[in-house]
Amino acid sequence: MEEIPIKSPEEETSFEIALSSRSGDLIAGMPPDIATCPDCRSELFDPSDRRHRYPFINCTNCGPRFSIIRALPYDRSRTSMASFTLCPPCRTEYENPADRRFDAQPNACPACGPVIKLLTSDGKSVTDTPFETAAELLRNGQILAVKGIGGYHLCCDATSNAAVALLRKRKNRPHKSLAVMFANMEELRHHAEVSAAETEELAGCAAPIVVVRLKPRQNSYDAHEAIPGAHLSQLVSPDTDDIGAFLPYSPVHHLLLSEISPLVMTSGNMAEEPIAKNEDDLKRILGKIADAALIHNREIVRRCDDSVLKIAEGKRLVLRRSRGIVPDHIPLAFEGPSVLACGAEMKNTICITRGDRAFISPHIGDIGDYRSYAFFREMISDFSDLLRVRPEIVAHDAHPDYPSTRYALGLVSARRVAVQHHHAHIASCMAEHGLAGPVIGVALDGTGYGPDGTVWGGEFLVADFKNWRRAAHFRQYPMPGGDLAVLNPIRMALSCLLSDLPPKNQPLIRELLPHLTQEEWNVLPRMIETGFRSPPTSSAGRLFDAAAAMLGIAEPITYEGQAAVRLQTLARRDETSTYPFNIQQDRQPATVSCSETIRAMVSDIRNGVDRRAIAGRFHNTIAEAIARTCSMIRERERLNDVALSGGVFQNEFLLKLSIKFLMRDGFSVYCHHLVPPNDGGISLGQAAVATAMSGKGFGNGRHAS
C-alpha cells in the first residue's frame, strides 16, 4: 500500500488541536463543517460590528471546513478560500493567537471575502437587498434555490399549501417528507414537541435535521385549539405526524430566516440526483424548479447533504450521516491494509479504511441514477486522495447487478471481497460497538440478495466478522412482479392473503383489497401460485407493506417504505396485545411464520377493530417474534448479544419495542447510533468484514457497555 505520511503531532497548530478534540479527528486533519457559533451570530446582527449582516462570517469555532477543503493538510491555500486575499484587519485576526479568528482558514469580511447575490430566472441579479428580495419572492409563493454549505437547498414558505404543492410538483416528490428550517428553537417549539436530547442535537455544532413529533395538527376551525402564528402546511409531511426540523447553520440561513420563517428546505436536486453544488448544477434547477437563487462565489468543493437523525430511546438513531458528522471516523477494533468498501445501491455511501480507522463518505444517494453513479466514482477518488491511501482491497455487495458491485468487479488489480448484504448490516452494527462476535444478528430490510437466489430481508444470522450462518428467517412469500411489488404494496398483501387464507376466501380478499384492478386480478393470482416472475422473499419490509395495504393505507405509494411510515404513524400509542405467530424449527434455518398473524388481522379488520389498534398489535407481534426467535437461537448457540440492523429499524417504534422485549428476555442489545441502520451503513460493515478477512491480526473485540 502506498501511503503518504500525514502531519506529525508537532506540526499541528493549536487551532487544529482545539478543533480536533471536538471532532475527534486529529489524525486526518479533516474537520467537519460546523454551524455558526453564538459569538458569530451576535456579531452578525450587531450594527456596530464590521461584519454586521455579512453572510460569510465565521471564526475558529465555526464555519465551513470539509466542504471547502481541496487537499490536506487543512490550510487556507488548499481550500476554496484561496482565491480571496485577506484584507489587513482580517490578516491581523488570522495571525494573532489571542484572536477568536486566529488561524480560521475561511476568515473573511465584506472587504475581502465572498459576496452574495440574488439571481432571478430571467437573468436579473439583486446585490443590495438580496435577503429582503428573496423573502418577498418566498412570501409570494415562489421557490428559491439557496447555495449553502454542502450544496444548494430548494426552499419555499412552509406555511403555504400552494407553495409546498408547487415545490413538490416541480421536484417530482409527491409525498416524501420535506425538512423544515425554523428561525430558532422557540419557533420550532411552537410547532413540535422537542425533548432535551433533541434540543441538544438541533443546537449542536453538527446542526443536523432532527425528526421530531409535531404537536397535534392545528385545527384552524377551532379558535381554542389554534396556536397563534402561522400553521405548517399539511403537505410538508402528509404520511406522518413527524417532521424533519433544523435550525439555521450558516450566516446565509440566519439572514434569510430572520426575514421569513419557517421554510421548507430540501436538497437541491431532482429525485435521485446528487445535491447541486456548482453553476452547472444550478442551470438544471433555476427556471425549472426554482424561480430565483441566492448564490455566492465561495466554491463548494465537496457535496455534503444535510445529516438526518432521530432520538430513539434517548440516543442518536442516524438516518443519514453527512454534513457536520462526516468525515469523523469510526474506530475499528483491528487493522489491516486499506480497504475501499463500495456500499450497496440505494442511500449509497462508500467507506475507506486507513489503519484501524474507517472513514465513511457523505451520503451519495441512489447510484442507479447515472448522475449519482458519477458522484459515487468521484467520491471514491476524492476520498482516497484526501486520506492519502490507495486501497488494496475492494469490498462489495454480493448482489451481482448493483452498480457498486459492477464497479468493484471492474477493478481488476485489486483483491476483492464480496460481502453478503445482511452480513454487512450486522457487521456495521458490530463495528460500531467494537463487538468481535459472534452475535445473533437481526437484519430486517427491504430487499437484499440471498445466496440461494431468493430475495432476503428478514434474517436472523449467527455472525462474527469472518463467518456467518442463516439461523432463521421470516416465512417467504412470492413477490409478484419482483420490484414492481415494492412500489405496489397491495401486491404483497394479495400474496400474503392468497397464501395464508383458504382458497374459498377469494371474495373476502377482493373486499379487503378494493384497489386491485380487474386486470391485476386476472394476472397476479396465477403469478403468485406458479411463482412466475415472483421471487420468494423473506423481507420484513415487504411484510410491513402487506400489513399496511390490508389496512387500506398503502395506496398510492411514491417512495419505498412509505406504507411502513404510515403504519408506524397509526401504531404509535399504547397497545399491549399481540397476534399469534409461529416459529418452525423442524428445518434449518428455522422459519418465523406470520400466517396466523395475517389471519388474525383479517378477522380484526372484518370486526371493525380500530386500525390504530391493529397497527399497534402488528408492531408488537413483529417485536415479540424477534425476541422469541432470538431466544430459540440462544438456546442452541449459547449467545446473548443481539445486534439489530437493516432499514426496517428506521421505524423507531418497532426498534423501541424490540429492544424492550429483548431486554425483558435478558439479552444484551446493540443497535445503531453512529451509522444508519439502512443501506447507508452497509459500506462500514463491508469494510469491517474485509479488514477482518485480510487476516492481519484480528484484534481484541471489546464489548461496549
Q: Name the site residues for Zn ion (rule: CB under 5 A).
A: 37, 40, 59, 61-62, 87, 90, 109, 111-112
For residue 90, the partner it binds in Zn ion, Fe ion, none, with Cβ less than 5 to 8 A by kind, is: Zn ion
We find the least distance from the C-beta atom of residue 304 to Zn ion, in angstroms, to be 19
Please identify, among the stretches 64-72, 82-90, 271-279, 672-680, the one whose residues bind Fe ion according to the rule CB under 5 A.
672-680
| Collapsed DSSP state (helix, strand, coil) of residue 538 | coil
Question: Which of 641/679 has CB closer to Fe ion?
Answer: 679
> CB of 56: closest distance to Fe ion in angstroms?
40
Closest contact distance (angstroms) between CB of 58 and Zn ion is 5
In this complex, which beta carbon is closest to Fe ion, that of residue 332 or of residue 455? 455
Choose the one of Zn ion, Fe ion, none that binds residue 201, judging by a C-beta under 5 to 8 angstroms depending on kind: none
List the one residue out of 585, 601, 602, 605 whose CA is nearest residue 593. Answer: 585
Which residue, 64 or 676, is less far from Zn ion as judged by CB? Answer: 64
> CB of residue 5 vs Zn ion: minimum separation in angstroms?
32
Work out whether 397 is an interface residue with Fe ion (CB under 5 A). Answer: no
For Zn ion, which is the closer residue by CB, 42 or 467? 42
- Distance between CA atoms of residues 467 and 469, nearest Å: 7
Torsion over CA: 485, 489, 495, 496 (sign): positive
Indicate which of Fe ion, Zn ion, none lies near residue 59 (CB less than 5 to 8 Å, by partner kind): Zn ion
Residue 445, contacted partner among Fe ion, Zn ion, none, CB below 5-8 A by kind: Fe ion
The span of 298-306, 332-340, 357-365, 673-681 binding Fe ion (CB under 5 A) equals 673-681
Distance, in Å, from the CA atom of 681 to the CA atom of 674, rounded to the nearest integer, reads: 9
Q: Total number of residues binding Fe ion (CB under 5 A)? A: 2
As a whole number of angstroms, the distance between CA 506 and CA 525 comes to: 10
Candidate list 252, 679, 691, 692; residue touching Fe ion; CB under 5 A: 679
Q: How far is the CB of 628 from Fe ion (least distance, A)?
A: 23
- Within 240-296, residue ranges assigned H as helices are 251-257, 279-285
Per the CB < 8 A criterion, the answer to whether 349 and 376 are in contact is no
From 113, 137, 139, select the one nearest 126 (Cα to Cα).
Answer: 137
Binding window for Fe ion (CB under 5 A); candidates: 139-147, 507-515, 522-530, 676-684: 676-684
Grid cell digits, residue 71: 487537499
Binding partner of residue 545 among Fe ion, Zn ion, none, CB cut-off 5 to 8 Å per kind = none
Judged by beta carbon, residue 40 or residue 119, the one nearer Zn ion is 40
In the complex, what is the shortest distance from the CB of residue 139 to Zn ion, in angstroms, rounded to a whole number? 30
- Smallest gap from Cβ 108 to Zn ion, in A, equals 6
**Cell, residue 40:** 458569530
Q: What, of Zn ion, Fe ion, none, does residue 307 touch, CB below 5 to 8 Å by kind?
A: none
Residue 224, classed as helix, strand or coil, is coil
679 binds, among Zn ion, Fe ion, none (CB under 5 to 8 A by kind): Fe ion
Nearer to Zn ion by C-beta: 324 or 365?
A: 324
DSSP strand pairing (315-320 vs 308-312): antiparallel
Which distant-in-sequence residues (6+ apart) come within 8 Å of 192 by Cβ?
212, 213, 214, 215, 243, 245
* DSSP letter string, 403-457: HHHHHHHH-TTSEEEEE-HHHHHHHHHHHHHT--S-EEEEEEEEEEE-TTSSEEE
Q: How far is the CB of 321 from Zn ion (least distance, A)?
A: 24
Of 173, 369, 133, nearest to 264 by C-alpha is 173
**Cα 91 to Cα 340: distance, rounded to the nearest angstrom:** 40
User: Please, which residue, 126 or 431, has the CB nearer to Fe ion?
Assistant: 431
Between residues 289 and 360, which has the closer beta carbon with respect to Fe ion?
360
| Lookup: cell for 141 | 409563493
Q: Which does 16 bind (CB under 5 to 8 A by kind): Fe ion, Zn ion, none?
A: none
Stretch in the footprint of Fe ion (CB under 5 A) among 360-368, 439-447, 508-516, 619-627: 439-447
| Rounded distance between C-alpha atoms, residue 660 and residue 651, angstroms | 14
> Residue from 242, 306, 366, 445 that binds Fe ion (CB under 5 A)?
445
If the CB atoms of residues 233 and 250 are measured against Zn ion, the closer one turns out to be 250
CB atoms near residue 129 (< 10 Å): 12
> In this chain, which residue has its C-beta nearest to Fe ion?
445
Q: CB of 405: closest distance to Fe ion in angstroms? A: 14
Smallest gap from residue 688 Cβ to Fe ion (A): 16
Residue 152 contacts residue 281 (beta carbons within 8 Å): yes
3-state secondary structure 334-365: CCCCCEEECCCCCCECCEEEECCEEEECCCCE
DSSP assignment of 2-32 equals -B-----GGGS-HHHHHHHHHHT-TTTT-PP
Closer of 253 and 321 to Zn ion (Cβ): 253
Q: Which is nearer to Zn ion, 37 or 550 (CB)?
A: 37
Rounded least distance, CB 461 to Fe ion, Å: 13
- What is the DSSP secondary structure assignment for residue 307, as one 8-state letter? P
Distance in angstroms (rounded) separating the CA atoms of residues 62 and 79: 15
d(CA 225, CA 7): 60
Chain residues that interact with Fe ion, rule: CB under 5 A: 445, 679
